Amino acid sequence: YTEEWRAHRRVVHSALLRCCQQSLHGVIERQALHLRKVQKTISSCGNLSWNVASSRDLTKLGLFTTQVLMDYQGTAADLSEDFTVAASNVITTLAFGKEYDKTSSELQELHSCLNEIVGLWGSSWISALDSFPLLRKLPNPVFARLLKEVARRDEIIKQHLRDYKLQDNKKADAIMGSLLQAFDKQNNAEQGQLLTDVHVHMTTVDLLIGGTETTAAWLNWTVAFLLHRPEVQTRVYEELCTVLEERYPKYSDRHRLPVLSSVISEVLRLRPVAPLAVPHRAIRDSSISGYFIPKNTVIIPNLFGAHHDPAVWSEPYSFKPERFLEGGGGSARSLMPFGGGARLCLGESLAKMELFLFTAYLLRDFEFILPERGAPLPDLTGLASVVLKIEAYRVVARPRPLTEP
Feature table: binding site for heme: 345
Q: What is the CA radius of gyration of the chain?
A: 22
Q: How far is CA 48 from CA 35, 36, 147, 246, 399, in A?
A: 15, 12, 49, 12, 8
Burial tier of 336 (Cβ tally within 10 Å: 0-12, 13-18, 19+): middle
CA distances from 374 to 202, 234, 314, 370, 392 (A): 47, 20, 30, 8, 18
Positive or negative torsion for Cα 84, 87, 92, 93: positive
What residues form the annotated binding site? 345
Distance, in Å, from the CA atom of 219 to the CA atom of 358, rounded to the nearest integer, reads: 8
Q: Where are the alpha helices (DSSP H) in 191-295?
A: 197-208, 214-228, 230-244, 258-270
HEC sequence for 385-402: CCCCECCCCCEEEEECCC
